[in-house]
Homo-oligomer: A and B are copies of this chain.
């Protein structure tokens, strides 16, 4: 622990994901006093019809995929 689940729109590159999990792990280690190897991160990617705000999906809102 901590075990972190990150939900985001699909489309990031491997490089972006690697940078993100590295930076998040550093942030958690620095603020919660845990060792890096205790930090696990799971990424769940969502398609443009699978995330909605105010009852409209990202596709409906014309939200472009990241990257």
Given A1-B7, A4-B7, A23-B30, CB of A17 within 8 Å of CB of B50: yes
Give A29 Cβ to nearest chain B Cβ, in Å: 8
Interface size class of A (residues with CB under 8 A): 35 or more
Chain B residues, Cβ within 8 Å of A57:
14, 17-18, 21
Copies in the complex: 6
The answer for the CA separation of A6 and B46 in the assembled complex, in Å, is 12
Decide: B42 and A54 in contact? CB cutoff 8 A: no
Complex: A27 Cα to B8 Cα, angstroms: 15
A33 with B66: in contact, given A24-B27, A25-B52, A27-B23 (CB under 8 Å)? yes
Cβ-defined contact, B42 with A46, below 8 A: yes
